[in-house]
Amino acid sequence: MPALPMPLMPMMSKARRAFWGWAAACTLVGCATSAQIKPEDIPGSAAETEVHRLAKTRLQLAALHFEEGRIEVAMGEVAQALQAYPRYVDAFNLKGWMHLSQRDYQAANDSFAHALALRPNDADTLYNLGWLNCQQKKFAEADRQLTASLEAPRANGASNVRTWLAKGVCLRQAGALEQALIALKKAHEIEPGNPMIAYSFSEVLFAQGQIERARFYVRRINNGQWASAESLWLGIKVERRLGDIVAMRQLADQLNKRFPNSKEWQRFERGAFDE
């Protein structure tokens, strides 16, 4: 299932790719964008202000390169940002996401831990550590850090919806379905139109056997612009379980037409509905 964001993402084509490729890659949350780089203001002399401006510019360039998949170039820009300003929390967090995108979990942990040491109890950094641990199936530690992120002083509505979503996904992976639904319901209350939340909620409801409720949420995705191979495949399984062969066939036709090379279409062709 989907991946979660490292803060969030741009719109339209990149946003769609982030929602569902990101979804597939991180299994639920993951990549930074320049819009998410909000460096702290550092009061001081004119020279210090200029140094910080330079570091901020380098970090914004790093985020742009990271969005485009140029990891080595992005790493170079982050290194220059940290050379200019060695206590740059946002730079360590972005560096951590770059390592996470390459599944270098130890390096990612080191970067996030360094950021947290510089800015204790930071909501974004705690989220980053929680998601990192979720990727490593360290679910108890992940849940502890995600909960701490929700309770952190700088937490807000935008960050909380992301964190409740990550918490729900991680609890689902841990097999704690009831707790996962509670977390996803919290996310849905904050941002009811979010397709990632709708998908995750539907997927957990399906796993619980609440098929009619699962149909309600997955249909909202498949009837709109955010339909994906993942959501269409879930919709197919839902309609199959409910015995609606016509709806199932319609969704399968969409899956074949729009995502003919997807693993979901391959599963449909094999009849692998329980994989």
Domain boundaries, the chain: 1-120, 192-275
Q: What is the CA radius of gyration of the chain?
A: 20
Q: In the predicted model, is pLDDT for residue 212 greater than 90?
A: yes
Class of the domain covering 192-275 = mainly alpha
Closest CA to 92 of 115, 68, 69, 73: 115
User: What pTM did the predictor assign?
Assistant: 0.83
Query: 194-226: b or e for each residue (b if 16 or more CB lie within 10 Å)?
Result: bbbbbbbbbbbbbeeeebebbbebbbbbbeeeb
Q: What is the rounded average pLDDT for all residues in the chain?
A: 85
4 strand-pairing partners? 29
- Per DSSP, helices labelled H in the chain are 12-26, 46-67, 71-84, 89-101, 105-118, 123-135, 139-151, 157-173, 177-190, 195-208, 211-222, 229-242, 245-258, 263-270
CATH code for 1-120? 1.25.40.10
29 strand-pairing partners? 4
* pLDDT number for residue 233: 98
Average the pLDDT over 169-188 and give the result: 96
Given a contact cutoff of 8 angstroms between Cβ atoms, the answer to whether 15 and 35 are in contact is: no
* pLDDT number for residue 51: 83
Q: List, for residues 233-261, the tens digit of each pLDDT value.
A: 999 999 999 999 999 999 999 999 999 99
Identical topology for domains 1-120 and 192-275: yes
Backbone angles phi, psi at 29, to 5 degrees: -170, 120
* pLDDT number for residue 74: 95
State the pLDDT confidence band at 40, using cuts at 50, 70 and 90: low
Q: Which helix (H) or strand (E) holds 259?
A: none
| Whole-angstrom distance, CA of residue 177 vs CA of residue 46 | 54
Q: What percent of the chain has pLDDT over 70?
A: 83
Closest CA to 168 of 189, 154, 156: 189
* pLDDT number for residue 46: 55
